[in-house]
Amino acid sequence: MKELTILIFSLRGGGLEKSILRLAIELKKQNVELDFLVANTIDSVYSVPDELHFVDLNASRILYTLYPLIKYLKKTKPKVLFSAGTPLNTIAILAKLITGYPKRLVVGERNHLSSIVRHSPRFRDKFRPYFVRFLYPLADQILAVSESVAEDVVTVGNLDKMKVCVAYNAFDIENIIAKSSEPTGVAWVDSQNTPTIINVGRLTRQKDHATLIRTFSLLRKKKVCRLIILGEGELRSALEDLVDELQIKDDVYMPGFVRNPYAYIARANIFALTSAWEGLPAVLIEALACGTPVVACDSPGGTAEILGRGLYGRLVSSRDPVSLADAILQELEAMKNPERLQLRARAFSAEHIIPDYLDFLVRSGQSETSPIL
């Protein structure tokens, strides 16, 4: 009988996949006997280290995960199953209803549910609140990735708040700092001769890079600077068209997914986040670890929590390009204190966060530690 099984849908290059893989690695370091399950390995970006016992369920869609998960649960009978992401959580709950396993099911809510329902163009996302309302009470515990996400899922699902706890993502801060000192291999980035604004994230509606590009267009009229956007996604063509329309192509660099984004972040003057919503934006913690000042929209999710409600980064109340451009200009002129930012990032280090997960997933299921504020 396995002590713990961790289930995610894929290993594509997103924050959820990266954070859950990191969690599995850190728990393994604590000698937790675990299986790391992935519904499929299509378009994988992250690789699973040899020390993790890796199981590929070979399910091309989330719905198709149910049958192989049932087979896995009947065979291994894990003590605890931790799944991450609303659609996959519903599959995990159904699998437990059918098999009676695991003994303890913990579901991870990783994003701001009501914002997904409000903004998503996909019709199926409108059903998420019903899944949460009728199925989540059957889980033993819900782990939200931020306080904002916890409050939202309780409201949307009309859940018992005593079953919902907060567990932030864990980061290898020292590794981020070490990688940030490596060269990018792009001469003008490594030279740091021009003020640079950077963003890292999938090119999707949620990340709202269009607002960032419009903000940069206004900023560029007042100051010589450049914009770097790292990441891939379905909106690349539309964003490139917007860059052309605004006539800022020579100053916008969009290389796609890069293996070491920290080298780019560390050489930028400002990390700018314009997301319409977030769960717990890992890129903000990574930017703080790199010592890079942050300007972020105070959108639903964990952004304000990471930045200490404005103590560790500049928060802008709306996704308005004029307000954002002014905030970035002010931050470019402000005094820099990278050591203070890195100290904040260390609050999210594995040594601080993993004990909570050990309590939630391996021990009694109740952590005595308080959320980081």
pLDDT score, position 36? 97
Q: What is the mean pLDDT of residues 241-269?
A: 97
Does residue 330 sit in the same domain as residue 222? yes
Does residue 282 sit in the same domain as residue 197? yes
Give dist(CA 16, CA 39) in Å, integer.
Answer: 14
Distance of CA 18 to the CA centre of its chain: 8
Domain hosting 198: range is 173-347
Does residue 77 sit in the same domain as residue 56? yes
End-to-end C-alpha distance for the chain, whole angstroms = 37
- 59: tokens are 């399910």
Per the CB < 8 A criterion, the answer to whether 27 and 354 are in contact is: yes
Residues 57-106: tens digit of each pLDDT: 999 999 999 999 999 999 999 999 999 999 999 999 999 999 999 999 99
Does residue 163 sit in the same domain as residue 201? no
The CATH number of the domain holding residue 148 is 3.40.50.2000
Does residue 52 sit in the same domain as residue 120? yes
Q: Do the domain assignments include residue 367?
A: no
Q: Which of 46, 15, 23 is nearest to 306 (CA)?
A: 15
Give dist(CA 108, CA 141) in Å, integer.
Answer: 9
Residues 322-352: tens digit of each pLDDT: 999 999 999 999 999 999 999 999 999 999 9
Residues 150-202: tens digit of each pLDDT: 999 999 999 999 999 999 999 999 999 999 999 999 999 999 999 999 999 99
Does residue 353 sit in the same domain as residue 336? no
Does residue 166 sit in the same domain as residue 184? no
Does residue 339 sit in the same domain as residue 295? yes
Does residue 90 sit in the same domain as residue 200? no
Does residue 41 sit in the same domain as residue 149? yes
Does residue 203 sit in the same domain as residue 156? no
pLDDT at 364 over 70: no
Calculate the average pLDDT of the chain: 94
Residues 24-44: tens digit of each pLDDT: 999 999 999 999 999 999 988
**Alpha helix (H) residue ranges in the chain:** 15-29, 66-76, 86-99, 113-119, 128-135, 147-157, 173-180, 187-191, 209-222, 236-245, 261-267, 282-289, 303-306, 321-333, 338-345, 350-361
The structural domain count of the chain equals: 2
pLDDT score, position 365? 55
- 193: tokens are 């001769």
Does residue 128 sit in the same domain as residue 183? no
Q: Do the domain assignments include residue 46?
A: yes
